[in-house]
Structure 1
Amino acid sequence: MADVVAANVGFVKSLSAAIRGQMWVCGKTAQLLRDLAQPPPAASPSPSPYVPEGCSQAALEAVGDPACKRCAKHVAMQDHVTCVILYDGSVECAGDNTYGQLGRGKADSDDHPLIQAAHVLAGMTISSVGTGGAFTCVLAAPTQGNKVYCFGRGRSGNLGNGDSKASAAPVAVLGLRQSSRIIQLAIGSEACVLYAAPEEGSSSAVQCWGGEYGPVAVNVPNTANVTYLAVGLHRTCALLANHSVACWSYPLPPAAVPGLGSEASGVVTRISLAGSPLRSRSTVACGTVRGSAGSSLWCWGKDDLLSDSELPWKVTALPGDVVDVALGWGHACALVKSEAGTGGEVYCWGQNSAGELGQGYSNGTLDHSRTHTTQRVRGLSNVTAVFAGRSSTCAVTAAQRVLCWGLNIAGSLGTGYQLQELTGPIAMQGLCA
């Protein structure tokens, strides 16, 4: 199969003989697949599910097909934790569980290199999952109240329950309104939700908690026209109904990003934020922009690594249409449509201290391990979705595999291995039994 990484000798020699079996994933965002096949429509915060080969829509909805019930619908990753939400509405996580953020009912200091069920959510159907590394939040399905629950570290009010204590059990976020349906959960250093419509008499369709927002959900003013959220380190950016972008750091109000969303620049379709505690000058953001000549990638912000301009600039060293982007603390990866095949290729740039660029090697120290030149991730093709965490990345292929690389502390990439660095794509294990 063309998209399978057949050997990992060039990435991690000690692992090349240990990759056994296959891991199949039957779910990914329909919006991404449409982007790969044709110019994308306006972004949607809750796209309809893609129906993979061998799995009917009815099987996905009823979760009665054994080939489908453990299929990954979404990947969420940050710091030393990776979680997947499956088509049966359950959540499984791998990595660090110091604060109980893996949902196993208790905190521990062990490494967890394989994804396992978040038992604290047993009996719940989950629509969305996000992790801030030390804490995890989930959005319950509309049939189960459309509420948000969080567990893990409570410092800075990240659990949203009015307290700062850690909790290995899920706690309900306080202050969320019930007048409108939540359509997106977005997690960074803080957490935010987007509603289908603003509250009557209010300019807010967004609520957030944690950090400067406080320990319970509060309204974010002037967000009535937001259609999609991306949350980074103490900063949030949003796609607006007019296809432009606005960003803010609470309590400052949202401010438009100049030069994006105009007829000249094109329609912004996706956004992603970087941001590291080690680099506090500015948060970098990137967005895919669809114009008459195709889809391109634009970035803005200053961190002396990914971007050196507060004004949006076009990333030119990419060989085709850019259909998705994912940013970590100090690296960025773009999904570029291939001329042939059903998916695309991934190109990364920035920090490579832990193999973030997928080149089969790392460059050692934080100060001498960077590149401003985009690098194609080796041994990876036919990619349909890309996700990034602190210093790591995961990609979903057209053959329904999830492959991850980069920093693997506590086994957070779910490959079954506890090496600190995976410098090339390795398959996540334990899905689609």
Structure 2
Amino acid sequence: MRRSRFILLVSPLAATLATLPFAGCSSESFLESNHAVAPDAEVADASDAGKDSEVPDAASDVVDASAPFDAAPIPVQCSGPSCVIALRAGSEHYCATMGDHSVRCWGDTNALPLPADGGGADAAPGKPISLLDVGSVVDLAAAGSGTCVVSSDGAVWCWSDWQRTPATVPDIPVARRVFVGPDGVTRCIFDASSELVCWGESWSLGPGLRQLTWDDGAKPVGVRFGMDVGLVTLSDGRLFSWGYGPQLVHQFAGGGPSQIFGVSDAEVLAVGSGHACARTKAGELSCWGRGANGQLGSGLWRDEVTPTPVALPASIAVVDVSTADVHTCARTTTSDVYCWGGLNARGELGLAAKQGVYVPTRVTLPEGPPVADVVVGNTSSCALRSDGSVLCWGDNTRGQLGRGSRDERRHPEPQVVVFP
């Protein structure tokens, strides 16, 4: 196996190099495990949650990796002012990039920016509000109660529950993409050269502005954060993590990124509060970390310290995946949405019954165009369709469903977000 070194460059001070050989323990690749269930594994039974109703379209087999896989994005065709072209989720709020490259957000008022009209966000709970003018937005990221955007001039604007007014981040390079940690202070960008630059208290990486590079020339292509962990996937498919969370999958916390073994060609990442998932270039999905609520999708309710295949239906492959507290949702090559994990207490899995769901289960969406993306908050879920409409379901106690109101009822039925 090719060895590489991680290099941390501290800026804007004179360049200080810290060469950190990665530390990790190899484990059997899930590609070679034949998707076998461990002999001591207990198979989950949804009736254990106190309900005996049938779960629709529950997975019965793992994905057939030999099937053709096409991860090309589904284009969003905008035809009006309420058209959404990108959607992101925090813990209890959502933000959308609109067709005119403005931004609107809804949900937890503590996480929302002060509205452009100067009014109070609390006056219209659940109503998407417009962002103060930050220019034309080209990228958007959200996690926890924090949100950042990249404007067309490469400036980064951020806000959170402790800074409601969007403000530019000073002294960073011109940005192309932005990534946000749920802790409210850890943020990263891809600069014009696709280098990864981070700032804030990023656990083992320390404070200050930092540039993360790999000395073998590999480029980072994806970054995701949990509360105590960061994950990076590289252009050659290798996957690295750092921090102190259960999603590390290597022996030693701290000391800079260490390689995760068991996923050989990671392309898409998602990190929840205690678990993580990675989708390979072949469309295979594996998850690891905390699994007591079935959020790993393996059919079991136990933790996994190595990437474990998700029990997807045969011939179904994952394009996008999103994770939150104890549930996970994915968009498949069939443009369906599958969700799993937890007891569906708020209807976040799109099922009428409250019951444990430990394998991917298809969400019944209203008739309409294909799903282009799916994102999840802690107790709610939303899907973006190719016509720019957004469907949300689950918890609405903080107006997460974008229906212009908030209430304490369960909402397992997906409904369209109403934009003013």
TM-score (norm 2): 0.69
More helix by share: 1
Tell me, yes or no, if structure 1 residue 311 matches structure 2 residue 306.
Answer: yes
Contact in 1 for aligned 2:366/2:414 (Cα 8 Å): yes
| Pick aligned residue for 1:80 from 86, 92, 98 | 92
Partner of 1:344: 336
Q: Counterparts of 1:302 and 1:172 in 2: how far apart (Å)?
A: 36
| Partner residue of 1:149 out of 128, 151, 157 | 157
SS at match of 2:404: coil
Q: How far off its partner does 1:424 sit? A: 2.1
Cα offset, 1:215, TM superposition: 11
Contact 2:327 2:342 in 1 (8 A): yes
Whether 1:253 aligns to 2:248 is: no
Query: Does 2:168 align with 1:172?
Result: yes
2:279 to 262, 282, 288: 288
Q: CA deviation at 1:213?
A: 8.3
- Alignment partners' CA distance in 1, 2:114 and 2:165: 10
Q: Name the counterpart of 2:250.
A: none
Corresponding residue number in structure 2 for 1:19: none
Q: Tell me which residue corresponds to 1:96.
A: 108
Runs of 4+ that moved beyond 4 A = 102-111, 210-217
Please report how far the alpha carbon of residue 38 of structure 1 lies from its aligned counterpart in structure 2 after TM superposition.
Answer: 4.9
Check the 8 A contact 2:189/2:198 in 1, yes or no: yes
State the one-letter code of the partner of 2:130: A
Select the residue among 411, 415, 418 that pairs with 2:406.
Answer: 418
Q: Deviations 1:247-267 (Å, cap 9, x if unpaired)? A: 112854111110112xxxxx3
Within the candidate set 136, 140, 149, 1:125 is matched to 136
Q: In the alignment, is residue 229 of structure 1 matched against residue 223 of structure 2?
A: yes
CA distance in 2, matches of 1:138, 1:302: 30
Task: Tell me how far apart the structure 1 counterparts of residues 193 and 134 of structure 2 sit (CA, whole Å).
Answer: 29
* Alignment equivalent of 1:274, drawn from 257, 272, 275: 272
Q: Does 1:376 align with 2:351?
A: no
What secondary structure sits across from 2:398 in the alignment? helix
The code of the aligned residue for 2:101 comes to: G
Q: Distance in 1 between matches of 2:284 and 2:210?
A: 33
- Native 8 Å contact 1:405 1:426 kept in 2: yes
1:10-409 to structure 2, matched below 5 A, reads 38-40=69-71, 50=75, 52=77, 67-98=79-110, 101=113, 103-104=115-116, 105=118, 109-110=122-123, 112-118=125-131, 120=132, 122=133, 124-142=135-153, 146-154=154-162, 167-178=163-174, 181-189=175-183, 190-197=186-193, 205-210=196-201, 212=203, 218-222=209-213, 225-249=219-243, 252-261=255-264, 267-275=265-273, 283-291=274-282, 295-305=283-293, 306-307=295-296, 308-319=303-314, 320-338=316-334, 343-361=335-353, 363=354, 370-379=356-365, 382-409=370-397
Contact 2:327 2:339 in 1 (8 A): no
Question: Structure 1 pair 108/334, CA: closer, same or farther in 2 (3 Å)?
Answer: closer
Query: What code does the residue aligned with 1:92 have?
Result: R
Name which structure has the greater RCO, CA cutoff 8 Å, separation 6+.
2
Does the CA-based 8 Å contact 1:194-1:229 persist in structure 2? no
Counterparts in 2 of 1:303 and 1:208: CA distance versus 1, 3 Å: farther
Q: Which runs of 5+ in 1 are unaligned?
A: 1-35, 42-46, 56-66, 155-166, 199-203, 262-266, 276-282, 364-368
CA displacement, residues 223-268 of structure 1 (integer Å, 9 cap, x when unaligned): 562111112222221110111211112854111110112xxxxx32
Q: What CA deviation, in whole Å up to 9, does each residue of 1:395-425 have, x standing for no partner?
A: 1234443111112222122122412332121
Equivalences, count: 328
Tell me how far apart the structure 1 counterparts of residues 261 and 136 of structure 2 sit (CA, whole Å).
Answer: 40
RMSD: 3.1
Q: Structure 1, residues 92-113: CA drift from partner, whole Å, max 9, x if none? A: 1112223653544576655521
> Contact 2:329–2:338 at 8 Å: present in 1 too?
yes
- For the 8 Å contact 1:380–1:425, the answer to whether it is kept is yes
Structure 1 position 360, deviation (Å): 1.9
Q: Secondary structure at the match of 1:98?
A: helix
